[in-house]
A and B are shown apart, each in its own frame.
Chain A
C-alpha cells in the first residue's frame, strides 16, 4: 500500500506544485513586516525586570517629552484586563502581581520605532520583588516531596475513573488530570518485574524564521483590524474582544503570509495583537510591532519542559501488565492553554501498547517563567519521548529485542487504548512498524550495534520508536467547535471560480494547496478554477484554529463535501454533469448569470459512534489516530563523543495522502525539527530568564546536519472524512528523539534520559560508568 507519486486520477494523491509557490520563489509574498500601512506607528513593550513581584507603579518620567507618543498601561484597557485563554487568569498588561521576567507592563507607540524606544526608556517602574520558582527541577523536587497536591491524588479512587482538574490544592499546580484503566496495582501484582525510570526534556523554541509581527489598524466604525503573522485569526478575536471592549464583529482579523509558526503563532499572537491594539485605539493610529530575534526568543512561548516517570510491570514473556505514568509539565507563569497540552500529553504517554491496567497522572506546574505554549506535537513529543525510551528498557528487561517487544505488544485492530477506545478503523499499526523495520533492515543492523565496544574509532547504533498521534481535537471536540466552511462561486475577470472561505491558515504546511486539491476534486475541475485567499474574519466562517493536525482531515474533508454539494447544485441546475474545467465554466457562467453568486456552507460533524467523556477521560480520545515508526541510525565518535545521526527511516500512516510531494517535505522538516530537539536545541533558565537569545546561541540544524531520510507512507484512510486524510503536521515531531536515544544506547551502551543529548552529557555518563566499572 505504499504510495507512488501521481498514482491517482483527479488531484487528490498527486504531487501538484504549491499554489503559493510562485509568489514565494519570486519574493512577492507579503509577510507582516512587508505590509504597507500608511501612517503606521511602531510599538515597543515595557517589561518586568523581575520574575515575581508586586507592581507599585508604572510611570513616564515627567522630564521625557512624550508629546509624539502614547503610553498605555493596564489603566488604559477598555474592558476587563484579561487575555481569555482557558481560565481568564492572565492579564493583558500586568497591574498587580508580576509573575515572570519580561511580563508586559506598558506599551509605548510613536511614529517611528526609534521614537518609541526613546520614550520607552523613560518609563519608570516600581516593583516590590517576591520569591519565585524558576525551574522545572524545582517543580519536580516539590512533586517528589509531595508538595504539589492535585485533585487527582486526593480524589481519584483507583480503577474507577479519572478526576477532572477542577480546583487544585497547591498554588504551584495550574491543572491536573488522570487517566485510569483497570487497576494498576493489580497489574503490578501480576508482573514478574517492575521497571522504573525518569525522562526529562527542557524548553524548545519554535524558531520560525519570520519573527512575530502584527499591525493593528483603527477602522472608521470604531473597530480594529489586526493583520499579520498568525495561525488562528478567530483566536485573536475570541481572546481579546473583552479586553478591548469590542463586539467580535468590530475586531476583524486578517492573516498575512506567515513565515513559519509550528504552534508558536497559535496563542501568542493573541497577546501581541493586544499590545498593538491598545496603543492603536488610544492614538487612533495604526500600530505595528515586529519582534526582533532577541525579543522573539526571550519573550514568546516555548515547548513545555517535561519530567515523566514510568513505572511498568512486565511478565517474563514480554506481556505488559501495568503502566503507571507521572507526567509533569512546566507551564510557566500562566495556564494559557497548558491544560490541553497536558491532556494531549497524557493521552499519548501510555499509548501504543496493549495493557489492561493503566494509570496516568498529569500535572501542569507553575513557575515564574514565560508561559509555555503550543509547539508542534502539543505535549505528545514529550510523552512519546518518555514512553518510547522506556519501551526499550522494558524489552531489555524481558530479554527481547526492541522490535520483537514492540511487535508483540503494539496495539492492533480490536485492542483498546488507555482511555478504553476500541481501535476499529484506519489503524496503521502494525503496518508502519513492519514497513519501517523492513525498509531499514532493522533486525540485521541491530545485531551489529557497537554497544560501547572498546577500541572502536566509531560506535554504530540503530534505534526505533513507534507511536500514534491523535488527529484533530480530543474526543468529540471537533463536533463541538462547529467547524464551518463556505465555498463561494463567483466571477473573477469574467471567468467563474470557486473561493474557499475558511479560517484555516497557510503557514508553510501546504493548506492552501491540499485544500484546493480537495475542493477541485469535489467540483471535478482543475486547480486553476479554485481560489483560496488568506483568511479574513470579516469574510470567512470559523473553520477552527489551524492546529492539532486537523486542517487536512477536518477542514479539508468539509471543503471536499461542500465542493461535492456545490457541484451537485450546478449539475442539477444545468441538467448535465460537470466534466472538467471547460464544462464547469459553461455551467457555472450560466448559473451565475441567471442566479447570481452562490455560497455553499458546510459544517463538520463526527459520526455518532465517537463517544468521549471529558469528566472521566474515558472513551474515544480522538476521531482517529495517525501512526508512525521512526528508525534512527547514529554514529558516535569515540574520540570526542560527538553524535552524528546518519540516517532516518520513517514510515507513517496519515490516512489518504493528498499530496505526496508536500507531505514528504513537511515530514522531512518535522523530522529535522525533532532532530534538533533530540541532539542540539538547548535553552535553559538562568536567573529566571532564557539563557539563549540569539540564533547563534539557540542552535538549529543546518543543511549539513540533517541525515539521509528514507520516508514511506502506508495508507489507512479515515473513511468517515472523505477523501480520507488523517493528521500529519505534528507526527514527524513525535518520535525521533526517543529513536535517537535508543540508537545511542545501542551504540554506546549508555541510556540517555535528558534532552537534548549532547556530547557533554554523554561524557558525564561515560565517566560515571567508567568509575562504576572500575569498582
Chain B
C-alpha cells in the first residue's frame, strides 16, 4: 500500500500522518489520530455527523481523501472546540438548552454552529437553519439547536 506523508495542524497541534492518499480523512482522524469525536453516520456526505472544519470551513470528512488535505492545513474536530472561547460557549449553551439528545450528530452539528458564528456572529434564524441543513438530527427537530446558536450569538466573542 502506497502512503503519503502529511503534516497538519489538528486542533492547534502539529500532527504528522503517513497514510494511503485516498484513505478517508474520517478514518485518519478516528483511527490514526485517535480522535473518535467525529462519527460516521452514512459515509456518503448526507448526514454531516463527520463534519470537521478545514481552515475554518465545515466539510464532511467521510468524502475527503486524506492526501487532498495539504500540509499546513488547520483541522478542527469536536475535541478542539474547548480550546477556543467560542467553542466553550457553544458547549455551554448546547448543554443548557438540551440541544444534545442522543448526541451522535452533535460533533458535526456543533462545528457547523462554530463555523457559522465565526463567519457571521449575528445570523438570523433562516441563516442558522441553512447553516445546519447539512447536519441531520433525528432526535431534536432542530429547535433546540437553533435556540442554542441564538443564545451563543448573543454572547459570541466580539458581540458582547
Contact = CB atoms under 8 A, between A and B. Distances in A.
A and B touch in the complex (CB under 8 A): yes
B73 interface: no
Interface string B88-101: 00110011111111
Interface of chain B, helix or strand or loop or mixed?
Answer: loop
Interface residues on B, range: 35 or more
Interface stretch (A100-108, A208-216, A317-325, A386-394): A208-216
B124 to A, nearest CB: 13
B46 A669 contact: no
B98 A17 contact: yes
A17 B107 contact: no
A207 B78 contact: no
Contacts of B32: none
A516 interface: no
B101 A293 contact: no
Contacts of B49: 209
Contacts of A26: 37, 78-79, 81-82, 91
Chain A: number of interface residues, binned into ranges: 35 or more
Nearest to A208: B138
Contacts of A22: 91, 95
Interface string B71-112: 000000111011000000011001111111111111100100
Interface in B15-70: 36-44, 46-47, 49
A706 B36 CA distance: 30
Contact of B138 (A21, A24, A510, A669): A669
B137 interface: yes
A132 B115 CA distance: 52
B100 A703 contact: no
Nearest to A694: B44
Interface string A561-586: 00000000000000000000000000
A764 to B, nearest CB: 29
Nearest to A34: B36
Contact of B42 (A206, A293, A702, A709): A293
Given A665-B140, A668-B140, A695-B44, A27 B36 contact: yes
Given A15-B98, A21-B94, A704-B129, A669 B39 contact: no
Interface string A1-40: 0000000000000010110111111111111011000000
A513 B123 CA distance: 31
Nearest to B37: A27
Contact of B141 (A17, A662, A696, A709): A709
A91 to B, nearest CB: 30
Given A210-B41, A704-B129, A260 B98 contact: no
A27 B81 CA distance: 9
Contacts of B159: none
B133 A703 contact: yes
Contact of A700 (B110, B134, B136): B136
Given A661-B98, A694-B44, A704-B130, A24 B106 contact: yes
A509 B130 CA distance: 25
Contacts of A257: 102-103
B141 A706 contact: yes
A259 B104 contact: yes
A662 B98 contact: yes
Contacts of B44: 293, 694-696
B83 to A, nearest CB: 11
B102 A209 contact: yes
Interface string A644-666: 00000000000000000110111
B100 A209 contact: no
A673 B43 CA distance: 22
A20 B132 CA distance: 23
Nearest to B78: A27
Given A25-B94, A25-B95, A210-B41, A695 B46 contact: yes
B79 to A, nearest CB: 5
A665 B104 contact: no
Contacts of A23: 103
B104 A695 contact: no
Contact of A20 (B37, B103, B128): B103
A591 interface: no
Nearest to A210: B104
A262 interface: yes
B146 to A, nearest CB: 7
B139 interface: yes
A262 B102 CA distance: 11
A277 interface: no
Contacts of B81: 26-27
A17 B128 CA distance: 23
Nearest to A22: B95
Contact of B142 (A21, A508, A662, A703): A703
A669 to B, nearest CB: 5
A21 B132 CA distance: 20
B144 interface: yes
Contacts of A210: 39, 41, 102, 104
A258 interface: yes
A507 B103 CA distance: 9
Given A293-B41, A694-B42, A31 B141 contact: no
Contacts of A17: 95-96, 98
Nearest to B104: A259
Contact of A703 (B39, B94, B132): B132
Contacts of A208: 102, 104, 138
Interface in A681-712: 694-696, 700-704, 706, 709
B145 interface: yes
A21 B47 contact: no
Contacts of B128: 703
A17 to B, nearest CB: 5
A669 B100 CA distance: 11
Contact of A669 (B36, B82, B90, B139): B139
A699 B146 CA distance: 21
A21 B100 CA distance: 6
Contacts of A665: 98-99, 101, 139-141, 143-144
A671 interface: yes
B141 A669 contact: yes
Contacts of A261: 102
A668 B141 contact: yes
B138 A700 contact: yes
B145 to A, nearest CB: 7
Nearest to A732: B141
Contacts of B77: 27
Contact of A695 (B42, B94, B97, B139): B42
A415 interface: no
Nearest to B49: A209
B104 A260 contact: yes
A643 to B, nearest CB: 18
B98 A18 contact: yes
Nearest to B90: A25
A209 B136 contact: yes
A672 interface: yes
A61 interface: no
Interface string A709-722: 10000000000000
Nearest to B103: A24
A22 B100 CA distance: 9
A508 B139 contact: yes
A257 B101 CA distance: 11
Interface string A249-277: 00000000111111000000000000000
Given A211-B41, A665-B98, 15 more contacts: A17-B98, A21-B94, A25-B94, A26-B82, A27-B77, A29-B103, A30-B36, A209-B136, A257-B103, A259-B105, A293-B44, A662-B98, A665-B139, A696-B44, A704-B133
13 contacts: A17-B95, A209-B104, A209-B105, A262-B138, A293-B42, A695-B44, A695-B47, A696-B44, A702-B136, A703-B128, A703-B130, A703-B133, A709-B143
User: What are the 3 tightest A-B residue pairs by CB atom distance, in nearest-first order?
Assistant: A27-B37, A259-B104, A508-B102
